[in-house]
A and B are shown apart, each in its own frame.
Chain A
Amino acid sequence: MPIKNDLQGIWNKYSLLLGVILFVLVGCEQVVEIPETEAAFVLPEVVTLEDFKLTHPRLGGYGLDSTRGKWSLFFFGYTHCPDVCPTELFMMAEMMRAIEKNPPTDFQVPQVVFVSLDPQRDTAESLQQYAGFYHSSFIGITGTQSAVDGLSQAMGVFYERVYHRDGDVVTLDPQEAVPGELENSYLINHSASIFLLNPAGKLHAIFPPPHDPNKMIRDLAAIQGAWR
């Protein structure tokens, strides 16, 4: 029968591949325990990031080494951000206050790091003043545009500069110079995901929006528990 032969052919062709896939899946499962989370996307394998060189007014240079030994929550934004960044920073401050009030057992308090995508307008001092307002533990770091681009690209953060005039979005050709009056009025559209780095300085999980501080705390506790 023609149909039966076709199926036999397909099985012959793919059975080996299927076998390899199953072997790899079973093998992987034994290596890493992925905890169950409500909101976080835990990476099947932690990602080693390229080192970065950003700065903080008090801590000086800030790179991968600075993140080792603690769990860090990285969020990318800018101080001229009309809505998203204040909302996210306030959410994370609420999370910190909840942790302070009711810490989960054996919980390591995370370090919130606010990275500016806008070094043209955000200085290290103004950024820290901004981030520190939401919670005294928050740190803001920035650097050259290429240093910021490097880190954000490594984590998979998308962002674009948008100019507008009279309520309309103005699209500029890359060759076009920015009209004087628009120069500093641009907005930046950006990913609002929060990135979790583990104490080894590896990218461990991603929290996509929308964010709920309660869920984040529970997920962090689950992730920390599975990592030990």
Chain B
Amino acid sequence: MHTSIFRALCTFLLALSTLTVNAESLVVTDPWIRSAPPNAPTLGAFMVLENNSDSEVSVVDAHSSLEVDRVELHRTVMADGVMKMVPQKSIPVPSHSSTVLKPGSWHVMLIGPKKVPSMGEVVQLTLVFGDGTEQVVAATVRQGKKMMDGHSHEMKSD
């Protein structure tokens, strides 16, 4: 009885944490992890990073509540029809601007997950910034963006 209330409270607080404005003015919205095959060697995490401050903010590292071998930052770029997935030292968010982490672009790579999470599962991601501060977000596992209805922005999880 107490455990389920405790769990509900934790989930509620985690959900809240995705909405509250961070003291460092870096707002993370719509964090999600792409659902993948049960034997997938890597997972992709995506989100929108909004920087409301006067100086550039960078994500330099990330940790996850999932047991993984390591976490890396990547950017997919296309050059002459070849898709390159380029590891990054950081993901920059210019002042008063946003950087969108999405398939085909910037993303957080979770390498070697011990167990691939299923659809709807919530994974905690800790983003580490260049100034040493951190922010924890709750990323929900869902399928890729709905491409068929033509919208490029998906706020709610599947």
Q: Report which A residues bind B (CB closer than 8 A).
A: 79-84, 86-87, 90-91, 94, 98, 121, 126, 129-130, 132-134, 158-159, 162, 164, 167-169, 185, 187, 189-193, 208-210, 212-214
Contact = CB atoms under 8 A, between A and B. Distances in A.
B13 interface: no
9 contacts: A80-B42, A82-B85, A83-B103, A83-B104, A87-B104, A133-B38, A159-B82, A162-B84, A192-B83
Interface in B1-44: 34, 36-42, 44
Contact of A192 (B42, B78, B88, B144): B78
B39 A83 contact: no
A209 to B, nearest CB: 7
User: What 7 A-B pairs have minimum CB-CB distances, sorted nearest first?
Assistant: A133-B37, A167-B89, A90-B144, A87-B103, A189-B84, A84-B83, A192-B83
Nearest to A162: B84
A82 B40 CA distance: 10
B40 A130 contact: yes
B147 A91 contact: yes
Interface in B71-89: 72-74, 76, 78, 81-89
A189 B83 CA distance: 6
B72 A167 contact: yes
B109 interface: yes
Contact of B148 (A94, A133, A187, A190): A94
B39 A126 contact: yes
A83 B74 contact: yes
Interface string B115-143: 00000000000000000000000000001
Contacts of B147: 91, 94, 212-213
Dominant secondary structure at the B interface: strand
Interface residues of B, number: 32
Interface of B: 34, 36-42, 44, 72-74, 76, 78, 81-89, 103-104, 107, 109, 111, 143-144, 147-148
Contacts of B38: 129, 133
A191 B44 CA distance: 20
Nearest to A83: B76
Nearest to B80: A158
B56 to A, nearest CB: 18
Interface centre among B38, B85, B111, B144 (most CB of A within 10 A): B85
Contact of A214 (B78, B83, B144, B148): B148
A130 B39 contact: yes
B87 A167 contact: yes
A83 B37 contact: no
